[in-house]
Amino acid sequence: MARIIFSDGKELQDLPAVQGRLARLGITLRHWPAPTERRAQELLDKKSLSDTEKEELLGFVQNRFEELKREKGYQTRDMVVIHEDIPGLADMLGKFDKIHTHSDDEVRYILAGSGYFGFVEPDGGQFLLEVNGGDYINVPANAEHWFEMRGCTRCKAVRYFIDTSGWTPHYTGRNREIAEAAATA
């Protein structure tokens, strides 16, 4: 379940309170349990997936895609599988660990593993949001944020798009101020 970690190391773990804090920035957080079918669990437990296996896993959450198409107008989705043996992983993740914005919403449904979104508040303050299996997040267009793994080595997530070109990061040049110690508290 998602939790917010503030720069002073304090945490917020109560889901309604976390959702309320994120809503101030226009961010939507929901908790949708990951699929529990035996085959889905087999796929979630694998380190890497073939394209065919990714499509199979996406089939287990097709109902979410249909709901989001009706609700938000998403046109397509894909599966991102991150694991420690991906060639060039550090460079790939390095594109998103600097504060940036997107011209479209950034939407992820975490099926397995975890990661951290960092956010910049209107007053310049910053905090981290740890997301885990079952967490759905919609970061609105133009929200200042970053994403990192922070010691996690694996993540399987569905990404939803209205237009994939809207996911190009636009770096703001602002520095991250969250200390490493805050995320491990």
Residue 39 corresponds to which tokens in the numbers above? 């085959």
Residue 146: strand pairing partners: 118
The CATH class of 3-7+25-183 is mainly beta
Under DSSP, the state recorded for 140 is P
Confidence band of 181 (pLDDT split at 50, 70, 90)? very low
CA atoms within 13 A on the CB side of 181: 3
Task: Say what the pTM is.
Answer: 0.92
pLDDT tops 70 at residue 185: no
Residue 137: strand pairing partners: 29, 108
Consecutive H or E run containing 157:
strand 155-161
pLDDT tops 90 at residue 162: no
Query: How is the chain split into domains, by residue range?
Result: 3-7+25-183
Q: pLDDT digit string (tens) for 54-103?
A: 999 999 999 999 999 999 999 999 999 999 999 998 898 888 899 999 98
Using a pLDDT cut of 70, give the percent of the chain over it: 96
Asked if residue 75 lies in contact with residue 69, where contact means CB atoms within 8 angstroms, the answer is yes
Residue ranges of alpha helices (H) inside the chain are: 15-23, 38-45, 51-60, 62-72, 89-94, 180-183
Q: pLDDT digit string (tens) for 119-134?
A: 999 999 999 999 999 9
